[in-house]
Amino acid sequence: MTSPLGRLRPERPPVRRVDDLAAALDLRTAGPATTDRTFTGVTMSSSEVEPGDLFVAVPGLKVHGARFAADAVARGAVAVLTDADGVASVPRDVPVLVADDPRALAGPVAAWALGDPASRLVTIGVTGTNGKTTTTYFVDAAMRAHHARTAVLGTVELRIGEDAVESPRTTVEAPVLQALLAVAHERGAGALTTEVSSHALALGRVRGLRFDVVGFTNLQRDHLDFHGDMEGYFRDKSRLFAADQARRGVVVVDDVWGRRLAAESPIPVETVSTHVGAPDGDDADWAVVEADIGLDGVGSRFVLRGPDGARHEAHSPLPGLVNVSNAALAIVLAHAAGVPLPTAVDAVAGAHAIPGRMERVVERGDGWPLCLVDYAHTPDALVLALEAVRPITPGRLVLVYGSDGDRDRGKRPIMGQIGARLADVLVVTDENPRSEDPASIRAAILAGVRDVRPDLADVHEASSRAQAIRDALRLAGPDDTVIVTGKGHEPTQEIAGVFHRYNDRDVFLAAHAEGREQHA
């Protein structure tokens, strides 16, 4: 993060009348008359209220937001939008707007209040189980090549131009999204690209915004606690491809869900087949028809065939087949969003490092191994990450990793088996143990390691993550690659319920700086 983004609100928001809003969105009113009441901002969280705001009080999974209406008013909220159940909790002297589903209206209300900021920018949304962050950054690289300034929002950060803050979630709440669109426009951005999580779609966080282009990466088993089953998960993801959410779409059709989305989509879509030899590759509008993975020791060269049959030489700046897929999708998305194809191809090839996504923290050279940080924290992602790094590693693959506490215990031995199978040297350590005993998590991973490598040769254990990275650097030679997985960009580590500032990248950089000093 280069510098703070500062206030996540526009400097000069329009002043709106509450009764105009009621008329525009056909809302019932309660409490004192709304005449002459004006507001300048919208929020769903009492702790984020600024004087002059409309507070949207929604029924949550845990609590009804109306319980916090008095707090919101004390902080300066001038009116409340809620449902029939919430009305009684609003202080009597405050005007109330009543709707059946206030959560679904939070986005449209904020968009109305800010004068539909999305209509002044090119907007791109990316959804799918994996690859959202990477694809979003690749798209942003292409948008940057075409627009003087851009904005990018997602799991890692909220960035407008060169200013950024840590992101509270993958997709921000609807009023925050609308405010960020207005801030982006105010600061001269021509395009905004955001990740759109399935939770965001189920909870209406992108309502009130019609994207110029939306993209779909893939659908794999995840978040079923929230969506129920794969069918429900697919239905929630598909909501982005509705006529009121997007003008057009780009869908990767390598899995059955992508093919189904493309077939059922009510908006026009272009299809992309991103794995050489993937089913339906020949029928797709765009297809990766050749790929040399890791050929140049960095990313991959590939050839993208367009709808007119023309072949475009392209490059993914990150290793592995999955990043060929992300790069191809990003090129087609950027092109659909108005970027000339050659500009999109070049910009994706030269995309900056993405924090914690196969991030090359220290380059190989001067006796140092290549040092990478990656976010892979599931068995599937770990396999992909290690397979991607092998072709760019002349020597041994040194893996530093753990498995998180208070989450899926069954994956720990599987993570152990994968590490033992695909890496040469292992340093098993902690990854957000949360309330659990870190040693017992490491023991479960090591049990999996032992299934594959009973002698435990080249297997080490370190109770501090920073120490684990230093151990790995001591063990690694100049031809080796040290990869630390699990936490990626995350700025904290949760131990015994306490969040400690911690970042894998900083440990690598500190060790590197120390090493250079000793050398000098």
Ligand X SMILES: Nc1ncnc2c1ncn2[C@@H]1O[C@H](COP(=O)(O)OP(=O)(O)OP(=O)(O)O)[C@@H](O)[C@H]1O
Ligand Y SMILES: CC(=O)N[C@H]1[C@@H](OP(=O)(O)OP(=O)(O)OC[C@H]2O[C@@H](n3ccc(=O)[nH]c3=O)[C@H](O)[C@@H]2O)O[C@H](CO)[C@@H](O)[C@@H]1O[C@H](C)C(=O)N[C@@H](C)C(=O)N[C@H](CCC(=O)O)C(=O)O
Known binding positions: 46, 128-134, 170-171, 197, 205
User: Which among ligand X, ligand Y, none contacts residue 62 (Cβ within 5 to 8 A by kind)?
Assistant: ligand Y
Dihedral sign for Cα atoms in the order 280, 284, 290, 292:
negative
Dist. CA 88–CA 254, nearest whole Å: 51
Q: Least distance (Å) from ligand Y to the CB of residue 44? A: 4
Rounded CA separation 38/40 (Å): 7
Please work out, in degrees rounded to the nearest 5, the angle formed at the alpha carbon of residue 266 by the alpha carbons of 262 and 270: 40
The one of ligand Y, ligand X, none whose footprint includes residue 58, by CB under 5 to 8 A per kind, is ligand Y
User: Closest distance between ligand Y and the C-beta of residue 320, in Å?
Assistant: 20
Residue nearest to ligand X (CB): 131
Q: Which residue ranges make up the annotated binding site for ATP?
A: 128-134
Q: Give the separation between CA 223 and CA 202, rounded to whole angstroms.
A: 12
Per CB under 6 A, 494 contacts ligand Y: no
* Site pattern 199..228 for ligand Y (x: CB under 6 A): xx--x-------------------------
Q: Which does 130 bind (CB under 5 to 8 A by kind): ligand Y, ligand X, none?
A: ligand X
- Note whether 357 binds ligand X by CB under 6 A: yes
State the residue for tokens 């950054």. 137
The reply to whether 155 sits near ligand X by the rule CB under 6 A is yes
The size of the chain, in residues, is 520
Q: Are 285 and 310 contacting, i.e. CB atoms less than 8 angstroms apart?
A: no
3-state helix, strand, coil in the chain (%, to 5): 35, 25, 40
* Min separation Cβ 461 and ligand X, Å: 23
134 binds ligand X (CB under 6 A): yes
Alpha helices in 45-126 (DSSP H): 69-74, 102-113
What's the min distance (Å) between Cβ of 333 and ligand Y? 19
Among residues 326, 393, 417, 493, the one that binds ligand X under rule CB under 6 A? 326
132 binds ligand X (CB under 6 A): yes
Interface with ligand Y includes 197 (CB under 6 A)?
yes
Tell which one of 114, 384, 420, 462 touches ligand X (CB under 6 A). 384
288 versus 466: smaller Cβ distance to ligand X? 288
In this chain, which stretch among 193-201, 246-254, 326-334, 429-437 interacts with ligand Y, using CB under 6 A? 193-201
Q: What is the DSSP letter of 384?
A: H
Backbone phi, then psi, for 164, in 5-degree steps?
A: -150, 155
Read off the tokens for 110. Answer: 């904020």
Binding mask 43-82 for ligand Y (x = CB under 6 A): -xxxx----------x-xxxx-x--x--------------
Q: Could you tell me which residues are beta bridge partners of residue 97?
A: 29, 81
User: Which is closer to ligand Y, CB of 62 or CB of 519?
Assistant: 62
| CB closer to ligand X out of 132 and 465 | 132
Stretch that binds ligand X, among 130-138, 184-192, 334-342, 345-353 (CB under 6 A): 130-138
Q: Under the criterion CB under 6 A, does residue 374 sit at the interface with ligand X?
A: yes
Q: Which is nearer to ligand X, 128 or 413 (CB)?
A: 128
In terms of Cα–Cα distance, which of 503, 484, 508 is closest to 166? 503
Task: Give the contact letters, 144-173, x = binds to ligand Y (CB under 6 A), - = no.
Answer: -------------------------xxx-x
User: Cα separation of 54 and 45, whole Å?
Assistant: 11
Separation CA 283–CA 312 (nearest Å) = 17
Span interacting with ligand X, options 13-21, 283-291, 292-300, 371-379, rule CB under 6 A: 371-379
Write down the least CB distance from residue 291 to ligand X, Å. 13
Rounded distance between C-alpha atoms, residue 256 and residue 250, angstroms? 15
Q: In the complex with ligand X, which residue's Cβ is closer, 83 or 404?
A: 404
∠ CA 88-93-97, nearest 5°, is: 60
- Sole residue written with tokens 């904005």: 151
Position 434 contacts ligand Y (CB under 6 A)? no
* Interaction between residue 376 and ligand X (CB under 6 A): yes
| Distance in angstroms (rounded) separating the CA atoms of residues 253 and 219 | 10
- Interatomic CA distance for residues 202 and 464, integer angstroms: 38
In the three-class reduction of DSSP (H, G, I as helix; E, B as strand; rest coil), residue 469 is classed as helix
457 touches ligand Y by CB under 6 A? no
* Half-sphere exposure for 147 (CA within 13 Å, toward CB): 29
Is there a contact between 217 and 193 (Cβ–Cβ < 8 Å)? Answer: no
Helix, strand, or coil (residue 403):
coil
- Give the orientation angle of helix 341-349 with respect to helix 132-146, to 10 degrees: 120
Q: Which is nearer to ligand Y, 200 or 389 (CB)?
A: 200
Does residue 500 sit in helix, strand or coil? strand
**Shortest reach from residue 372's CB to ligand X, in Å:** 11
Q: How many residues of this chain bind ligand X (CB under 6 A)?
A: 20
Residues forming the site for ligand X (CB under 6 A): 130-134, 155, 170, 195, 217-218, 322, 325-326, 357, 374-376, 381, 384-385
Residues near ligand Y, by CB under 6 A = 44-47, 58, 60-63, 65, 68, 169-171, 173, 197, 199-200, 203
